[in-house]
Amino acid sequence: MLQFTEDFEPGSGRSVIVDIKEELYSAKSDFQAVKVFDTVAYGRMLTLDGIIQLTQFDNHAYHEMLTHVPMQLSNAKNVLIIGGGDGGILKEVVRYSSVEKVVLCDIDPYVTKVSKDFFPEFRDAFEDSRAEVIHEDAAEYVKGKTEFFDVVLIDSSDPIGPATVLYEKEFYQNVYNSMKIDGIMSCQMESMYYHPEFIKEKVTIQKNMFKSAEYYYTMIPTYPGGSIGFSLCIKQGSSLCSARLDKNSLDTGSNPEIIDSLKYYDNKIHDASFVLPKFIGDVLC
């Protein structure tokens, strides 16, 4: 049987091995190798440069946690998605009736094309009248933008290749400038098991820039170590944000009609995701 293998960190001696029914798509864009597989256990799977980006089996654990943790703390009207060309984050954002405009900026049009062709569950989000899809360098796109976005969601791939710039201090500063005074940013922040020093470095940069920056995580079996983390960064905060960060009032401030439709995220998970194992808590303290 055909198998796909993704090695974890060098020297770890561990890999993700996925049994494949069929390779559905393979192409080399200007930026990366894009492939789609039909797997035995996980449904369809998208990979970029040999790294698993999503599967139909568990992508909700990633997309819901990157999106709804910040969105539940805001009545966002203007949202920016950086990366996320597959449309998984876009699908979650357009659930919110408060959103008037959502810009998705991903450098690689191949990812969007492939997602529309092979992942029909994301297709409708691209057709939402509030959505604008831009294929350009997001690091350049945010330059010069000031106090426009309520929420910025950075769905970046690993910090290699075209995504490297999305983890630099200058980029975070430009994103900060693009956000309204009470804006919130959430971004992909790697595995607590394999990248603790990387996480510490980037979250420290964010803590020195934003009013607050906190690491949280989700469980997703097809990613290295079975989990992936995010950082939640609040520019200055608002009364709504402060209230919903209060554990006792998140229930009344949230959107129950949205939460009831989800698979992973709810109010209890929101709180629990910030409770870190001691080993990563000690690194970040």
Q: Which residues are catalytic?
A: 155
Task: Identify whether the C-beta of residue 88 lies closer than 8 Å to the C-beta of residue 62.
Answer: yes
The encoded tokens of residue 70 equal 């910040």
d(CA 70, CA 15): 32
d(CA 48, CA 32): 6
Q: H/E/C letters for each residue in the chain? A: CCEEEEECCCCCCCEEEEEEEEEEEEEECCCCEEEEEEECCCCEEEEECCEEEEECCCHHHHHHHHHHHHHCCCCCCEEEEEECCCCHHHHHHCCCCCCCEEEEECCCHHHHHHHHHHCHHHHHHHCCCCEEEECCCHHHHCCCCCCCEEEEEEECCCCCHHHHHHHCHHHHHHHHHHEEEEEEEEEECCCCCCCHHHHHHHHHHHHCCCCEEEEEEEECCCCHHHEEEEEEEECCCCHHHHHHHCCCCHHHHCCHHHHCCCCCCCHHHHHHCCCCCHHHHHHHC
Give the pairing of strands 15-28 and 3-7: antiparallel
